[in-house]
A and B are shown apart, each in its own frame.
Chain A
Amino acid sequence: MLRDITLGQYYRTDSVIHRLDPRVKLATTFIFIISLFVVNNFVGYLLATLFLVMCIKLSNVPPKFIFRGMKTIFFLLLITMVFNLFLTPGRAIFTLWKISITYEGLFLAIKMAFRLILLISGSSIMTLTTTPNNLTDGLESLLKPLKIFHVPVHEISMMMSIALRFIPILLEETDKIMKAQMARCADFESGSLINRAKSLVPLLVPLFISAFRRALELAMAMEARCYRGGEGRTKMKPLIYQNRDRIAYAVVFGYFVLAIVVGRIIF
C-alpha cells in the first residue's frame, strides 16, 4: 500500500547507530563524503570501506537494504565507468578501431565507481538509521547559527516534517482520485504526450484542492493547539549529546585524520 512508503526508508531496529544523536550522524555523513574526495589512492579507499563496513555492522541493518538503494544508481554508475574508461587519454592497454582503454582510464573508472558506491551506501546508512523526524530535528539544530541571518530555521524544519507526514496521505489520495476518474473511463496511459498531459487535469485539480483544504484545516488545528512559531517553544525530545555521541565524534575525527594521512600523504 502507498501509505507504507516512508521517505528515506527508515529501517526499524535497535543499534548503537540508531541511538546516536542525529547531529552526529549528519556530521559524520558529511565528513565521510568529504573524505571520499580527499583521498586519491586505493589504500585510502580501503580505509573508507573498512570504516563503512564497521558502521554497517554496528547499525544492524541487513546489507541487502543498503545495496537495494544501489539499484537506482546502477545506470549512473555504468555511464560514469564507461565514460572514464574510454575517454581518458594515456597509455593504451587495448585498442579497438579508434577507441582505446588506457591505464589511467581504468584506474579512474574504478576510483569513480568506488567513490559513488561508498557515497551512496554511506548516506543510506544515515537515512536507514534515522527517522525523518529526527533528521529534521538534527538539521534544525545544526542550522541554528543561520538564525543570525534571519533564516527561519524552525519554520523550515516544521515545514519539512509536516511535508513528510503528508506525503503518504497525498500519495494515497492521488491513487484514489486516479481510480475514481478511471471509473469515469478516464485514460491516463495511452495517447500522445500532449493528450497525456491534458489527461492529468482531472487528477491534478482535485489533488490541489484537497491539498489546500488540508493545509487550511491543519493550520487551524495547529493554531487551536497554541502553535505560534518557534518562539518560547520547548521540546519533548530535545537533542542532548550523550557519551556515545562524544565517542562517535572522536572516532570520526580519528578516521578523517587517518584518511588524509594514509590516502593522500603517505602512499
Chain B
Amino acid sequence: MIRTDKLVFEYIRRDEEGNVEGITRAVDDVNLDVKPGQFIAILGHNGSGKSTLAKHFNALLYPTEGHVFVDGMDTEDDSHLWDIRQEAGMIFQNPDNQIIGQVVEEDVGFGPENMGVPTKEIWDRVEESLKAVNMLSFRKSSPNHLSGGQKQRVSIAGVIAMHPKCIIMDEPTAMLDPNGRKDVIRAARALNDVEGITVILITHYMEEVIHADKVFVMDKGHIEMQGTPREIFSQVDRLKELRLGVPQVTLLAHELKKSGLPLPDGILTREEFVEELKKLKK
C-alpha cells in the first residue's frame, strides 16, 4: 500500500537575515513497506521525524532523496497527486484546525465535494461515514459544540467519505482526554477490522499501539526498532533511551522480572499479566 525507498528529507535552517545556518535531516534513510489491510503504528518522541515522515504519505511533502510509493504511484509524479490524496487520507493533531464546515455533515461532505462526486452520492457517503464513526446523531451540530474526541471522529468521517484505501493519523489523540482518546482509537480499529482500511497511527501513547500488526520506532529520523508490539515492548530499557515509555503493566512485569520473578518479556495487557502470575504461583 505504502512503500518508501531510501527516503531522506532535509530542510534548510535559516537565521533571521535569511542566511543558511545549516541543514537538518528530519527523515534519514527510511525504508518502509506497509501491506494493504495492516494496522501500523509509528512511535517516536517529539521531534523524532515521525510527523515529517507521515506528510510524505499524502504528498504534502516530497522526498529530498529516495521515493515514496502510494499504491504503486510515485508521489513525485504530479499527474497522480489527487489520486494519492484521495487514496491516502490524513488526520492531524489539532481537532479544531482541520474542520472546515460549520455543520458536521457539511464538513464530512467537503472531501467528496472537492473530488467532484455527484450531489446524491455525497449525501450517501456522508451518512455512511458518520455511521462508521458513530457520529450520525450529531450530523446537524456545529463542530464548536463538540468535544475533542467527537471532533476527531468527525475528521475521520471526513476522510472516510473520500473512500480512501489508507488512513494516516498523525497524533490524533495528543490533544484529547482519556475518553476521547479511547473513542478515536476504537474508531480507527473498527475501520481497520470492519472496512479493511489500512491504518497508519502515529502516536506517543504506548497503550494505543498494543493491537497494531507492526510497530516502528523512530529516533532522529531513523527507524530504530521495528516488530510486533510484543517484540518492541520487551525492550523496556531501549525504549526509555528513546524517550519513550511502556504501558504500566509491561513496566510492572519488567520490574518484577528484574527482581527475580521469571516472567516472560513483553507482557501487554492486564489479563496476560494476571495469567502469567497465576502460572507462576502453581
Contact = CB atoms under 8 A, between A and B. Distances in A.
Given A225-B158, A232-B116, A236-B106, A217 B85 contact: no
B114 to A, nearest CB: 4
- Chain A interface size, as a band, is 20 to 34
B96 A224 contact: no
B117 interface: yes
Interface in B220-267: none
Given A217-B94, A217-B97, A132 B114 contact: no
A223 B60 CA distance: 8
B106 A165 contact: no
B46 interface: no
A224 B85 contact: yes
Contact of B115 (A132, A221, A226): A226
A224 B60 contact: yes
Contacts of B109: 236-237
B172 interface: no
Nearest to B158: A225
Given A218-B97, A220-B92, A228-B82, A234 B102 contact: no
Given A162-B100, A236-B109, A236-B126, A225 B116 contact: no
A198 B79 CA distance: 52
A28 interface: no
B111 interface: yes
A169 B95 CA distance: 12
A221 B82 contact: no
Interface in A180-218: 213-214, 217-218
Contacts of B94: 214, 217
B103 A169 contact: no
A232 B60 CA distance: 21
A238 B106 CA distance: 12
A4 to B, nearest CB: 8
Given A133-B102, A224-B85, A225-B162, A234 B96 contact: no
B63 interface: no
Contacts of B192: none
Interface residues of B, number: 39
Nearest to A173: B96
Nearest to A227: B114
Interface in B83-141: 85-86, 89-90, 92, 94, 96-103, 105-106, 109-119, 122-123, 126
Interface in A219-252: 220-228, 232-238
A20 B245 CA distance: 57
Q: Which of A3, A168, A221, A224 has the most CB of B within 10 A?
A: A224
Given A168-B144, A234-B113, A226 B162 contact: yes
A226 B98 contact: no
Interface string A23-47: 0000000000000000000000000
Given A226-B85, A226-B114, A233-B113, A221 B92 contact: yes
Interface string A160-178: 0110110011000000000
Interface of A: 3, 131-133, 161-162, 164-165, 168-169, 213-214, 217-218, 220-228, 232-238
Given A132-B102, A234-B113, 13 more contacts: A131-B103, A161-B102, A165-B99, A214-B94, A220-B92, A221-B90, A224-B92, A226-B82, A233-B113, A234-B116, A236-B122, A237-B106, A237-B109
